Amino acid sequence: MEDRELLKFYKEGKRNFSHHRLYNRNIELHNICDRVIWTDNAPPNFSNENLAEIILTHSNLYHANLSGTNFSGATLIDVDLSYVNLSGANLVDTDLRDTNLYHANLSGANLSGADLTNTCLDGAIFKNVIIDEKTKIHKKYYLISQILNEEVVVVNLSGIDLIGANLDGANLTKADLSNAKLHEDRVNNASNIYQNKILITRLKKAILTEANLENANLGRADLRGANLTGANLRGADLTEADLRKADLTGANLMGSNLTRCRIRDANFSKVDFRNTDLTNTKTKLTGAKLKGAYYNDETKFPEGFNPKFAQMIHEDDIKTKKYHNSEWIELLTKKKVKTVKSPPPREGQQEFKEELKETYGYRCLISGCHIEQIIEASHIIPYSKIESHDVANGLLLRVDLHRLFDAHLIAIHPTTREVLISEQIAKDYQDIRGIKIASCLTGEDATKQQDALRYHCEQCNWIDKQLLE
| C-alpha dihedral sign at 284, 287, 288, 292 | positive
Q: What is the mean pLDDT of residues 422-443?
A: 92
Query: Which of 1-15, 24-38, 103-117, 144-158 bottoms out in mean pLDDT, i.e. has the lowest?
Result: 24-38
* HSE (side-chain half, CA atoms, 13 Å) at 285: 23
Task: Please give the pLDDT value at position 37.
Answer: 45
Sign of the Cα pseudo-torsion (288, 291, 292, 298, in order):
positive
pLDDT digits (tens, 9 = 90+) for 145-158: 888 886 555 567 88
Question: How high does pLDDT run on average in the chain?
Answer: 86
pLDDT tens, position by position, 221-270: 899 999 999 999 999 999 999 999 999 999 999 999 999 999 999 999 99
Q: What pLDDT is attached to residue 22?
A: 83
pLDDT digits (tens, 9 = 90+) for 35-62: 444 455 688 899 999 999 999 999 999 8
Q: In this structure, are residues 187 and 199 in contact, taking their beta carbons and an 8 Å threshold?
A: yes
d(CA 368, CA 396): 10
- What pLDDT is stored for residue 386 in this prediction? 79
Which pLDDT belongs to residue 329? 65
Q: What is the pLDDT of residues 372-403, one digit of tens each?
A: 899 999 999 998 887 888 999 999 999 999 99
Residue 337 pLDDT exceeds 60:
no
